[in-house]
Amino acid sequence: MAARRKKKAGKAKKKASPARKSKSVARKAAKRPAKKAKKTAKKAARKAVKKSVKAAVKKAPVRKTKKKTGGEGDYAASRAFDKDQTGFVAKNKAKIPAMGKEAEAALDGPEGASLRDAEAIAAGRSRDIF
């Protein structure tokens, strides 16, 4: 095997004859229009895909969603809470002192222990310390 390799390595490449060169140039020239046609076909296909995507995007309904900030900075929830509280106070302005007295009586009554337990459980979940 080594002998064969040496023989192949020893051979010099033949230079292309002028006639041979002109044939290869002619072949390349013949391929150029085909290459150009391929490129234009690819470009046309890309444009068609882009147009179809744009059309699909335009037809799709756009959903407008409000930004929601979660956690303590949830502004929408804060506004809703404030609105509910002011509505409750406006509706029950005369009843609020009586409600406070009822709650005080309930704490002093027989169900006071269960109410205090419920308060302790709720306070345990809260971040605030009473």
Q: Where are the domains of the chain?
A: 21-60, 92-125
- Residues of the chain with pLDDT > 70, as a percent, come to 65
The rounded Cα 80 to chain-centroid distance in angstroms is 28
The answer to whether the CB of 49 falls within 8 A of the CB of 55 is: no
pLDDT, tens digit, for every residue of 5-30? 555 555 555 565 666 666 677 777 77
Outline where 1-130 has alpha helix (H).
2-10, 18-59, 75-91, 96-108, 112-125
**Sequence-ordered list of residues with C-beta below 8 angstroms from that of 75, at least 6 positions apart, any chain:** 69
Q: Residue 121 — very low, low, confident or very high, per pLDDT cuts 50/70/90?
A: very high
